[in-house]
Amino acid sequence: MTTMKEALVSKGTRVQIVDTPIPEPNENQVLIKVVVSGSNPKDWKLPDIFDCTTNEGDDIAGIVEKVGANVFEFKPGDRVAAFHEMRTRGGSYAEYAIAWQHTTFHIPKSTSFEEAAAIPLAAMTAAVGLYLRLSLPQPWSPSPPTPTTQTPLIIYGAASAVGIYAVQLAQRSNIHPVLCVAGRACDYVAGFLDSSKGDAVIDYRPGDEAVIAGLTKALEGRPPVAHVFDAVSEKSSVPNIVEVLKQAGARDAEGKLQAKVTFVLGSVKDELPDGVEKSITMVGDVHNDAKDFGYVYYRYFARGLQEGWFEPQRTEVVPGGLGGIQTGLQNLKAGKASAVKYVFRIAETDGVQR
pLDDT in tens, 43-76: 999 999 999 999 999 999 999 999 999 999 999 9
pLDDT score, position 270: 73
pLDDT score, position 199: 97
What is the chain's length?
354
CA distance 333 to 330: 5
Contact 251, 283 (CB under 8 A): no
Judge whether residue 146 has pLDDT over 70.
no
The DSSP bridge partners found for residue 276 are: 259
Judge whether residue 269 has pLDDT over 90.
no
The DSSP bridge partners found for residue 251 are: 257
Judge whether residue 273 has pLDDT over 90.
no
Torsion 225-227-231-234 (CA) sign: positive
pLDDT score, position 68: 98
Contact 156, 178 (CB under 8 A): no
Q: Tell me: the pLDDT tens digits for 284-304?
A: 999 999 999 999 999 999 999
Q: Between these two residues, 235 and 190, which has the higher pLDDT value?
A: 190
pLDDT band at 16 (very low <50, low <70, confident <90, very high): very high
pLDDT score, position 265: 83
Q: Tell me: the pLDDT tens digits for 215-237?
A: 999 999 999 999 999 999 888 99
pLDDT score, position 148: 60
Judge whether residue 139 has pLDDT over 80.
yes
Q: Residue 334's Cα: distance from chain center in Å?
A: 19
Tell me the pairing of strands 79-83 and 59-67: antiparallel
pLDDT band at 323 (very low <50, low <70, confident <90, very high): very high
pLDDT band at 354 (very low <50, low <70, confident <90, very high): low
Cis peptide before 177 (omega within 30 of 0): yes
Spatial CA neighbour of 216 closest among 271, 189, 179, 191: 179
Mean pLDDT, to the nearest integer, of 13-29?
Answer: 98
pLDDT band at 272 (very low <50, low <70, confident <90, very high): confident
